[in-house]
Structure formats: structure tokens, C-alpha cells
Chain A
Amino acid sequence: MVYKTTGDVLVSYGRAEMVPYLMTYQDVGMACATGEALTPLLLSFESVGSDPDKLATLVYTVAATCTESMALEEELRYMRAVKEGRVNEAQDARSRQKELAEISARRQYEAYRRSFVEFGEADNGKCPRLRNDFDELVWMIGQISGVQSLLNDATADTAVGVPRDVAAKVERGLACLDNEKWWGVPRGGRAALWNILPMLKPANADAWAELERATRLGFEQGVRLPSALYAISAYSVGDDQRVRRAIREFANNDKNLDPNYAMIDSIAGMLIKGISDRMWTEATGKRTPYGNLGTFWDDTRKSSESTINIDDLL
């Protein structure tokens, strides 16, 4: 009884105070540690009757950022090793990347699963009842985690067995949110899915135009998650020009960010940096040089040397 009361207080405190507070942080590492440390504590109250499903979606999602960033390091190590012909190290890094991708997929799928346990699935034009901003945020994050779990499971040779219809379900699930209110993520996310699964695309829809619009909306409102979705989508289909443009624009639009959702913007930043690091490493063997996000190794520098005649200076 005391335990249940404690659980209820914790769940309600988490939702009313901790989540909004954490959202103002820019420090993704802190969110990762919070997720890994608090998830078992929070969910243990389930066995005494509390209902932490909504919070579970959020804490599992941030816990997955830990393994996501570790997996990225392994992927970069793999790329460097391949580039230098060190096959054993490359294979070792790939194995470790897959182990971490499997853990990410498990965490993200659990985040997604909790969201539909709580709200139900969106189908046949029906949407779950989302009562307030918090519900909408949980729903949105749950949907995005669903897609990420599918992609990480593919890296892990489908060890988790994330159902493949998650992509189609998320495409419908995101349609249940107000696009303007959530920085363009709902339509941007759907359009990103149309690019990788063209059979989900409604007739006459233009995925890139949608992603473009969503990206603008994100910049205007100061949460740049749609820009990251754009870059991920372009990177998946190997569209180098679009990826570069997305990364440059992300880097150039770092003013007027919404302090209430700094965490979401930082996670978007982590995703963008991850793509930039992969591209840099593939091309040069090194990640994006510090402070140089938005630039590429083969950029032609605007040089002033050619216009200066040294003789004139002497």
C-alpha cells in the first residue's frame, strides 16, 4: 500500500516535474544516464499497482541514446579499420556495433510498445485519445522509437525480431498529431518513411517537399528534429547532395532555439553529428573536426590569396 502510494507519487512527479525539467537540458549524456538509472526503479512500481507506461516510453527512449552513441563509436572504428585494411579490428568493431544495436533495438521497441499499451494503436483512420501535451509528446516519441528499433534490429541481424509492420503503423500513428504544434515532426516523420517505403506514400504526395516544409517549421520553432529526419532519410537512400544540404542548414540554424525542448533539439544534433561523422570518416578516416559541423572535407575554401597581389604589399 505504502509502496503503491510512493509509486503513484513518483510517476506523477516524474510526469509533472522531472520530464519538463529534463527537457530543458542540452546534455544528452545526462539524459542517457537518467534513463539507464531510473528505468528499473520507476518500472518496479508496476508490480505494486502503479502505471508508469507513459514515463516508461520516455525513459526507455533516453536510455537508448546511451547505446546508440556507443554503437556509433563502434561504427566509426569499423570504418577507420576498413579504410586502413585492418580486417580483424573492423570485424571486431562490427560485432560490438551489432551487440549495441541489439540493446538499442530492445530499449526502443519497449518504448514503442509501452506507448501503444497505454494508448492503443492508430488504425483505420482512428486515433488514440491524447488528452494533453504530455500524452502527445509521449505518443510522438514512442512512434519515433518504433522506427528506430526497426532500423537497429536490421543492424543486429534481426536478433530482436521487431515486427516489420511497425513502419506502416508509425506512418499512421504520426498522422494523429498536429503538425504545426510539434515542429513539423509528424509530417516530416511520415515523409521520411515514404522515402524508405514508397508503398506507404499517398498518391500525389511529394516526400522531399514535405520534408523540406517540416524542416523549415522546425527551424522557425527552434526544435530541429525534422531537419535530422531529413538528413537520416537522405542518408538511407544514398542522396549525398541532400544529406550535405541538411547538415549545413542544421548547423546554420542554431539561433532562437526553444529552451523548453532543448533536449529534443540536442538529440537531433546528436543524430546529425552522427551522420556527418560517418561521412567524414568514410572519406578521410577522421570524424567531423571539432567545431566544423556543416563543413565537408572537399569544400572549396573561399580563398583570398588569389585576389591579393603580394607584390603590392611590399
Chain B
Amino acid sequence: MRYGKALIAAAASSLLLGVSAPAISAEKRTLCVFDIIGTSGDMYNIMRDYRTAAIEQGYDLELKAYTDENIAAEDLKAGQCDAAAITGIRGRQFNSYTGSLDSIGAIPNYDALRTVVQVLASESPRITPNLRSGSYEVMGIAPMGAAYLFVKDQAINNVNALAGKSIAVMEYDAAQGKMAASVGMSPVMSDITNFAGRFNNHSVDICFAPVMAYSALELYKGMEPNGGIVDYVLGQLTLQVIARHNKFDSEFAAWSRSYFFNSVFDRAMRIINSANNEIEDKWWIEIADQDKLRYDEMMRDARIELTEQGIYNKDMMSLLRNIRCRLDAARAECSDQRE
């Protein structure tokens, strides 16, 4: 009898335990993650933690690694992925508003980028509708580092010196080639697998690359002995989670955007800073203030033209201008309203 009671008590307590720790039943979805080195990479690593946090919000995301970003974008279109984490440039085809974050010269530093991401995650009724376009919705934005011009000769330190030089540009970003041609450079269409090789064996004079590429692709080889990195931020690369709108509810989308701002931004910045720290000081090419102003001016003209051509989004250009001017009202552009 004693044993009988004990058994009943044990059965009851196991039942209670069962009740007190219910398994959360989350909706299954597929998240395709572009990371150039696959499941071992930084971005995939960040997405694993995103996945864990998403379970509490009712979604169980199955992660799939893609080392080719284009295939991830195509699989999102084909419905193989319910959401995909891809770069902003590649994401432009799904949402021109956030796809214009990487526009040239539009986000001059990481403070500005932080403000941009904060604003986009604010759930303001004047912002959020722009994050949806057709069947797609942007559910998170993370920094991937500022991009600079890497040059093989320090003498290429002002706008005039760019004319006549060859530059490796990414063929899938129309803006890069147009921009290069507009200052008299000859663009050499390249992709992620060959641009660094071309720069390192000096078959092009200049390449445009994020700080992350410096060490991983040994861009110092192309800069040796007399080259450097022009200390002017040409743009910010971002990673964006773009989802099929009907696969996630709007509370989750809002939670996800705030998760990216509150949890992912600083982590991604740590990775970027560690890549930045690998760059020896000697490579940075300081440019004169008046040249900086000329670059600013030139970038602005280019953005206005690319916006007219429909490559960049007008609303985003105006938001970015306002953010730049809020952080530094002394900028020349703040006295007029061209963007």
C-alpha cells in the first residue's frame, strides 16, 4: 500500500512536471542564410541565436546555409525559403526602400547607421509600410561593415586622380559601374570570387570592398608596396532578413526588427571592429577636408542621378539625408533639399 501511494505520488508529480514545462509548439518556417563560408561563418552564427529567440515568438526557423547569395535570393522567390538573410544590394530586387541603404556615400559612419536601423525598427506608421513591398517584408537589418576604395597607389588620393584608373566592380550592382564611369574610371565587371585576385595581381588599380575583405582576401597584397585605403566611407553593407509576408504574422515581424536592432547590431559591430583592427594604420590614406567635401558633393550628385534612374529609392534617400543632417547639421547638403 505504501508503495502504491508512492507510485501514485510519483505518477502525479511527473504529470505535474509535464504540465509545468510544456513544449512550445512553434510554427515551422525555413530561413535561408547567405554566409560566404557557410555554417561556420559569422552571419550563420548570429542567425542561430536569432532562431532560438524566435521560438519564444512562435516560429521554429529551420536554417539553411547558402554560400552563393544569388541562389538564396532565387530560392526565396521560388518559395523554397520563407525568409532569406542576404545583403542589401542583393535584396534591392525585393524592396527598393531598404535596398537603397547601401547607396553610395549615404551613410557616412556607424553612428548614422545605428540611427538608420533604429528608425527602421521603430514601427512608426510612417516607416513600417515601406518595409513591405509586394509579397515581401523586411524583418531585420544588420551591419556588415563600411566599404572603402582600396588603391594600389597612394597618389590616388583625390577625385581627379581617379580618372583613367581601372576598378573592379560587382556586376550585380548597377550603381557601382555607373558611379565609376561617371568619374572617368574604367569599370571591370567582376564577382566576389575574382575581384580580389584582380586587385592583388595588379590587373586593376582599384577595388571597392568592405573592411571584412581586407584580411580574409589579403587585399594588403594588392596595396603593397605603395597603396592604401582611402579613408572615406563609400557605403555601408547590410545583411537583411527578407521574408515572404504571408508566412509570418505582423507581431513577429515587429519583434524581429526590434531583435535585430537590440541584439544583433552590437554583435555584428564587434565582428566589424575586429576586422577593422586587423588593418594596419599605415594603410589609411587621409584625404584633405576640401577633397572630402568634393567627394560628398560627387556622391550626392551620383545618388540623385541614380534615384532619377530608378536604381535608388527616393523616400530612403530623403530619410538618409535627414539623418545625416541631424547628426551633423554643418554638412553642405543640409541647407538645400535636393534629396
- The one of A78, A85, A91, A158 in contact with B24, judged by C-beta atoms closer than 8 angstroms, is A85
A residues 203-240 near B (Cβ < 8 Å) are: 235-238
A238-B39 contact, Cβ under 8 Å, with A86-B23, A165-B218? yes
CA distance A161 to B215 in the complex (A): 12
B268 to chain A, nearest CB (A): 9
A199 in the interface (beta carbon within 8 A)? yes
B40 interface residue per 8 A CB criterion: yes
Report B47-100 residues with CB < 8 Å from chain A CB.
48-49, 51-53, 55-56, 60, 64-67
* Closest beta carbon of chain B to A249's beta carbon, Å: 21
Bound CA span A198–B64, Å:
19
Q: Does A27 contact B (CB under 8 A)?
A: no
In the complex, A183 Cα to B132 Cα: how many Å? 54
B264-292 with Cβ < 8 A to chain A = 267, 270-271, 274-275, 277-278
B217 at the binding interface (Cβ < 8 Å): yes
Give the CA-CA distance A87 to B55 in the complex, in Å. Answer: 7
Which residues on B sit within 8 Å (CB–CB) of A84?
A: 23
CB distance A91 to B52 under 8 Å? Answer: yes
Inter-chain contacts of A26 with B (CB < 8 A)? none
Within A81-112, the residues touching B (CB, 8 Å) are 82, 84-87, 90-91, 94
* A49 interface residue (CB < 8 Å to B): no
For B203-247 the 0/1 string (1 means CB < 8 A from A) is 000000000100111100000000000000000000000000000
Identify the interface centre among A87, A165, A199: most chain B CB within 10 Å of its CB. A199
CA distance A97 to B41 in the complex (A): 15
Q: Is B37 an interface residue (CB 8 A)?
A: yes
Kindly state whether residue B197 has any CB partner on chain A within 8 Å: yes
Cβ-defined contact, B38 with A168, below 8 A? no
Residue contact A237 to B65, C-beta cutoff 8 Å: yes
Residues of A within 8 A of B40 (CB): 151, 154-155, 196, 236
Q: Is the CB of B215 within 8 A of A158?
A: no
CB distance from B28 to the nearest CB of A (A): 11
Is B194 in contact with chain A by the CB < 8 A criterion?
A: yes
Q: Is B192 an interface residue (CB 8 A)?
A: yes
- Asked if A289 is an interface residue, CB under 8 A from chain B, the answer is no
* A87 engages B216 (CB within 8 Å): no
Residue of A nearest to B67 (CB): A237
Report how far A199 CA is from B196 CA in the complex, Å. 8
Residue pair B194, A154 in contact (C-beta under 8 Å) = no
- A157 in contact (CB, < 8 A): yes
In the bound complex, CA of A210 to CA of B48 (Å): 31
Among A78, A91, A163, A236, which residue has its beta carbon within 8 angstroms of that of B39? A236
B309, CB-defined interface residue at 8 Å: no
A90/B38 in contact, CB under 8 A = no
* B193 adjacent to chain A (CB < 8 Å): yes
Which residues of A are found within 8 Å of B65, using beta-carbon distances? 236-238
Kindly state the separation between the CA atoms of A236 and B25 in the bound complex, as whole angstroms. 28
> A196: which B residues are within 8 A, CB to CB?
36-38, 40, 67
Q: Considering the chains assembled together, what is the distance between the CA atoms of A294 and B278 in angstroms?
A: 42
In whole Å, how far is A292's beta carbon from the nearest beta carbon of chain B?
23
How far, in angstroms, from A197 to B267 measured CA to CA in the complex? 23
Chain B, Cβ-Cβ closest to A78:
B52
A82 to B64, CA, bound (A): 16
Whether the Cβ atoms of B45 and A157 lie closer than 8 Å is yes
Which B residues are in CB contact (< 8 Å) with A90?
52, 55
Cα A236 to Cα B48 in complex, Å, equals: 14
B297 within 8 A of A: no
Chain B residue contacts of A82, Cβ below 8 A: 51-52, 55, 60
Expressed in whole angstroms, the minimum distance between the Cβ of B168 and any Cβ of chain A is 12
A126 within 8 A of B: no
Q: What would be 18 A-B contacts, judged by CB atoms less than 8 Å apart?
A: A82-B51, A82-B60, A154-B42, A157-B45, A158-B42, A158-B271, A161-B277, A164-B212, A164-B278, A167-B216, A198-B67, A198-B192, A199-B196, A201-B193, A236-B37, A236-B38, A236-B65, A237-B38
Q: Interface of A with B (CB < 8 Å)?
A: 78, 82, 84-87, 90-91, 94, 151, 154-155, 157-158, 161, 163-165, 167-168, 195-199, 201, 235-238
- Since A157-B42, A197-B216 are in contact, a sample of 17 more A-B pairs with Cβ atoms closer than 8 Å, ordered by chain A residue number, is A78-B52, A87-B24, A87-B52, A87-B56, A91-B53, A154-B40, A157-B45, A158-B270, A158-B271, A161-B274, A164-B212, A164-B278, A168-B217, A196-B67, A198-B192, A237-B38, A238-B64
